[in-house]
Structure 1
């Protein structure tokens, strides 16, 4: 069995953050009595965008994190990347509520984790020199 501890912990933390983002939206919907759409409420729009932004970036970053971890194993660098991603997403959510610095730091941490993992993934992939494996047999029948 292969276990990817960094990715597993980061994905678990991301699920908790996503739950928190949904809870914030639900509480605001109840308070403002807006049960469908955004009702023109700017705070609700911002919170909905924070969660959608989370859904736009986090899955791809988790895939990159898993593939890099699978290729190179867990490392202190990967733990730092996972932590930076989660911190960035929490700061971004607070930033969408009006704390501009949190939004900027959150965006920067998210984009840096994505680009760092992408670059490292490209590097690892470009170092692979073995012949490709195929599941099809080539040659005469029999």
Structure 2
């Protein structure tokens, strides 16, 4: 029923799963069951996963509401692709080499916030026109 939203939800679901796996991998590798044990890599992995879980649901809700209101498919694909690419860039920036504030994290933040802004304004226009 919502094939465009479903596509990006599936891709985001795989990303969240990969990020969760990364947390577990670090914890098992360091023998830390809960928390981060003061390990900076675990902290970054936990925050990369948490950040994705914090941002992705609302973005998908916005895209889904737009799709349910027959918004332009190209716009929906743009929002979805930007969301996925932004979240991947942010996760890489959080967990990859040199994971202090870097260009991948910045790109991910900008891409995600652009989706929020554009999709929210788009949805406001749709809602007001209704």
One fold, TM greater than 0.5? yes
For the 8 Å contact 1:6–1:74, the answer to whether it is kept is no
Structure 2 unaligned regions, length at least 5: none
The corresponding residue for 2:104 is: 102
- 1:9-88 alignment, distance < 5 Å: 9-73=7-71, 75-88=73-86
More helix by share: 2
What's the TM-score once normalised by structure 2's chain length?
0.92
2:90 is matched with which residue: 76, 86, 92? 92
User: Shift in Å at residue 33 of structure 1?
Assistant: 1.3
RMSD: 1.2
Q: Which has the larger radius of gyration?
A: 1
Report what 2:129 is aligned to.
127
DSSP 3-state at the match of 1:72: coil
Distance (whole Å) between structure 2 residues aligned to residue 81 and residue 118 of structure 1: 11
Aligned to 2:117: 115
Superposed CA offset, 1:1-45 (max 9, x none): xx1111000111111000000011111111111111110011111
Q: When the two structures are aligned, how many residues end up with a matched partner?
A: 126
